[in-house]
Amino acid sequence: MNRLSVATLNLEDGREIEMLPELVSQAGDVDLLLFQEGKGYQANGQRQRFRAERLLNTIGLDRSLMTAGTGTAMHTLIFWRAGRLQPIAHWNPVWPDVFPDQGGPAEFEVEGFGPALTVMSVHWAYWSGDVRLDQAQKLTRFAAPGIPAIIGGDLNSLWPDCPGHREFEPAWDRLPPHKRHHKILPPGARPGSALVSDRRALTVFSEAGFTSVGCTAGDMTPTVNDKPGIGQGGRIDHIVVSPALAGCVLQQIYAVHVSEAGNRASDHRLVSVTLDLDRYTPGTPA
């Protein structure tokens, strides 16, 4: 069995950096960490980025790359175990030859696995479902047959309901009007007068063939802690796999890690899963 342990973490404003080894260790020996909110990690010669890398080196995540935020200092990063993965390519949007729909993905050679693995750490817009929809549409190409892809991070959206389970739907009317509209369908798109979550972006993902591994596990545990949303939570941090990797998910090794340390460090929880890459199904190219 060729197992790959993957986790995603949005560390609020990238502040509690010293807690990273403790937080990530909740998931055991992680091979690949998708990280969001590296705020200001580009400053002073990327000191915070390399500080995070040195800290995570103590638990085996000894390499990193950073994708610059577009028009913001809120960056996404990927940390990995160099003994298991080797980088092949990275499309950073700061470079002039990277088109607007190309920025962010990286490709890795994985020990004992034939094809290149596409990996992307994402932090989708919290302020607009239209922007999230655009971000989703730019990535559907990675759901093509034969492409092994992992996209993970803070997608700021619920997944559409799947056969056998329903996502937790917050009671949006419990929030004041100025705090609810970035996550609900806009006027004119709602079913009647009901305030419901805007799931259009992840519906695009689902219809393209992507799988949220939490759905495979049947685990609807909220991924935000009890700070925001007046304690209602929501499953908005996802590890998403392409159809070629959907059969690789070991559903019994999926977890949303709820801990006192996690609540202190961030408004989001660590999410992790293990894949068995021997179950990869190439499919027939379209």
Split at pLDDT 50, 70, 90, the class of 14 is very high
Split at pLDDT 50, 70, 90, the class of 147 is very high
What Cα–Cα distance (Å) separates residue 190 from each residue in 134, 194, 229, 253? 19, 7, 21, 36
Is the pLDDT assigned to residue 232 strictly greater than 70?
no
Which tokens sit at 1? 């069995």
pTM, rounded to two decimals: 0.94
- Identify the pLDDT of residue 285: 55
What Cα–Cα distance (Å) separates residue 26 from each residue in 23, 164, 265? 6, 28, 13
Which pairs count as long-range contacts for 126-131, CB under 8 Å and 24+ apart, including other chains? 126/156, 126/182, 126/183, 127/182, 128/182, 129/157, 129/182, 129/183, 129/184, 129/185, 129/186, 129/198, 129/200, 129/201, 130/186
What homologous superfamily is domain 3-278 in, according to CATH?
A: Endonuclease/exonuclease/phosphatase (3.60.10.10)
- Identify the pLDDT of residue 96: 84
Q: Which residues pair with 239 in a beta bridge?
A: 152
Q: What is the mean pLDDT of residues 81-110?
A: 91
Of 116-120, 124-128, 166-170, 233-237, where does the model show the most confidence?
A: 116-120
- Identify the pLDDT of residue 228: 56
Contact 29, 56 (CB under 8 A): no
Average pLDDT, the chain: 91
pLDDT higher at 231 or 282: 282
Split at pLDDT 50, 70, 90, the class of 176 is confident
**Biggest alpha carbon distance in the chain?**
54
Q: What is the spatial distance between Cα 48 and Cα 43, in angstroms, rounded to a whole number?
A: 8
SS3 readout for the chain:
CCEEEEEEEECHHHCCHHHHHHHHHHHCCCCEEEEEEEECCCHHHHHHHHHHHHHHHCCCCCEEEEECCCCCCEEEEEEECCCCEEEEEECCCCCCCCCCCCCCCEEEEECCCCCCEEEEEEECCCCCHHHHHHHHHCCHHHHCCCCCEEEEEECCCCCCCECCECCCCCCHHHCCHHHCCCCECCCCCCCCCCCCECCHHHHHHHHHCCEEHHHHHCCCCCCECCCCHHHCCCCCEEEEECHHHHCCECHHHCEEECCHHHHHHCCECEEEEEEEHHHCCCCCCC
Q: What is the spatial distance between Cα 273 and Cα 253, in angstroms, rounded to a whole number?
A: 6
What confidence tens digit (pLDDT) does each residue in 18-60 have? Answer: 999 999 999 999 999 999 999 999 999 999 999 999 999 999 9
- Identify the pLDDT of residue 284: 56
Q: What is the mean pLDDT of residues 201-217?
A: 96
Q: What is the spatial distance between Cα 50 and Cα 264, in angstroms, rounded to a whole number?
A: 23
Identify the weakest region by mean pLDDT among 1-5, 100-104, 202-206, 228-232: 228-232
pLDDT higher at 101 or 107: 107
pLDDT higher at 68 or 207: 207
Question: Within 13 Å of residue 226, how many CA atoms lie on the same side as its CB?
Answer: 5
Q: What is the mean pLDDT of residues 239-262?
A: 95
- Identify the pLDDT of residue 33: 98
